[in-house]
Amino acid sequence: MALQPSVSSAQTANLALLVAVLAVFVGPFVQMWIAKRQVRATVLSANRQRWIDSLRSQIAEFLAALVTLNAVRSGALDLSPTEYSAKLEQFRLGQFTIRLMLNPNEKDHQRLDDALGEGLTLVTSPGPGLMQDDLAKVLEAIDAIARPVLKREWERVKLLK
């Protein structure tokens, strides 16, 4: 017959005391760590959401300016030289703002930047404006690249919440 080690009441009391001491001293650190992670996730999520909203808005403004500049170049819209210059400056500002919001290390961000540059080149190169089909292709190309970028970033936001 094997002897079972018996646990004395003193050992049980010591074990209970040790668990209580650990709970008192370790518990707040665990709670602080959890709270810190939650705050960080909330801040990251909010910042990323603002970035997505701003990028979407900047791209929409860029596309609208692209259409306007093309209409001026094709003669469908008449703007004074001052108005045209202001619109072109706004267009370039939009391109540079978007460029600075993009991550140069991500391929689709690079493709979006390239497509925006192509749009700028097309409406600022000498000659008449783009034909409607050509303009539609440029707009669709930018849209086709921007949507997956925005979708992927939105998925990242949902993971942080």
Is 55 among the domain residues?
Answer: yes
CATH classification of the domain holding 62: 1.20.120
Give the pLDDT confidence of 26-56 residue by residue, as tens digits: 888 888 888 888 877 777 778 888 989 999 9
Confidence of residue 155 (pLDDT cuts 50, 70, 90): confident
DSSP string computed for 3-48: PPPPPPHHHHHHHHHHHHHHHHHHHHHHHHHHHHHHHHHHHHHHHH
Higher pLDDT, 86 or 1: 86
Please give the share of the chain, as a percent, with pLDDT higher than 90.
31
Average pLDDT, the chain: 84
Is 48 among the domain residues?
Answer: yes
Higher pLDDT, 154 or 102: 102
Could you tell me the pTM of the whole model?
0.71
Is 63 among the domain residues?
Answer: yes
8-12, 91-95, 113-117, 150-154: the lowest-pLDDT one: 8-12
At 105, the amino acid letter reads N
Higher pLDDT, 2 or 41: 41
Confidence of residue 7 (pLDDT cuts 50, 70, 90): low
Is 137 among the domain residues?
Answer: yes
* Residue ranges making up the domain that contains 134: 42-160
State the helix-helix crossing angle for 107-124 and 132-160, rounded to 10 degrees.
Answer: 150
In angstroms, what CA-CA distances link 63 with 12, 89, 118?
73, 14, 12
Distance CA 122, CA 49 (A): 31
Is 130 among the domain residues?
Answer: yes
Total tally of structural domains belonging to the chain: 1
Q: State the CB neighbour count (10 A cutoff) for residue 102.
A: 17
Is 96 among the domain residues?
Answer: yes
